[in-house]
Amino acid sequence: IQTAPIAITGDPVLYQKAAPVIAFDVALHNLTQTLMATMLQARGVGIAAPQIGVSQRLFIVASRPNERYPDAPLMEPMVMVNPVLLSGSSEWELGEEGCLSVPGKRLSIARHLWIDAQWQDLQGNTHSGRLHGFVARIFQHELDHLDGITLIERIT
Ligand SMILES: O=C(O)C[C@@H](Cc1ccccc1)C(=O)SCC(=O)c1ccccc1
Ligand SMILES: [Zn+2]
């Protein structure tokens, strides 16, 4: 399966608002496979389509325990199409984040403790649910990518 180069700070695609996915076709499946392979190769816990130069509203959340979040859940990677943050907890939590598009940086970012999210799967079915902790953090980080926001913009 093909991997793709990851766009890094300065690449205009990272600062655009991504377009909604409308075709749940074989092209979307192929894009998702490339996205997944690229994330796994880069050993990320998430990745958004704009990070491989595709300005579409699609990302993957793939939490696993790691040195910064040892109690993070090990989860099957979740493909989220046209994701929406419906509401977020009033409590925020500071946590260390990295970004595959901002190599070598670890920044402390405030995120909602939990969020109510809605998204579509690759078949176009709509799902919704409450995400907590590290999974909620990854979702919020990836959603920023779909809105042209990277860690650097979050800090400033
Ligand atoms: O740039 C990305 O979207 C991937 C990013 C996702 C992310 C990491 C940490 C918090 C929120 C979102 C990464 O996977 S960075 C590299 C990494 O594997 C990692 C970094 C910090 C903590 C745990 C993992
Ligand atoms: Zn990132």
Q: Which ligand is nearest to the CA of 141?
A: 1
Three-point CA angle 43, 48, 51, nearest 5° = 80
Q: Could you give the CA distance from residue 142 to residue 51 in angstroms, rounded to a whole number?
A: 10
- Residue 18's Cβ-count burial label (10 Å; 0-12, 13-18, 19+) is buried
Residue stretches of the chain with pLDDT short of 50? none
Around ion ligand 2, residues with a beta carbon closer than 5 Å are 99
Ligand 1 atom 16 nearest Cα: 44
The predicted pLDDT at position 155 comes to 80
Active site residue 67: no
Q: What is the pLDDT of residues 63-104, one digit of tens each?
A: 999 999 999 999 999 999 999 999 999 999 999 999 999 999
Pocket test for ligand 1, best of 11, 13, 45 (most atoms within 8 A of CB): 45
Three-class secondary structure of residue 151 per DSSP = helix
Q: What ipTM, to 2 d.p.?
A: 0.96
pTM for this model (two decimals)? 0.97
β-sheet bridge partners, residue 110: 94
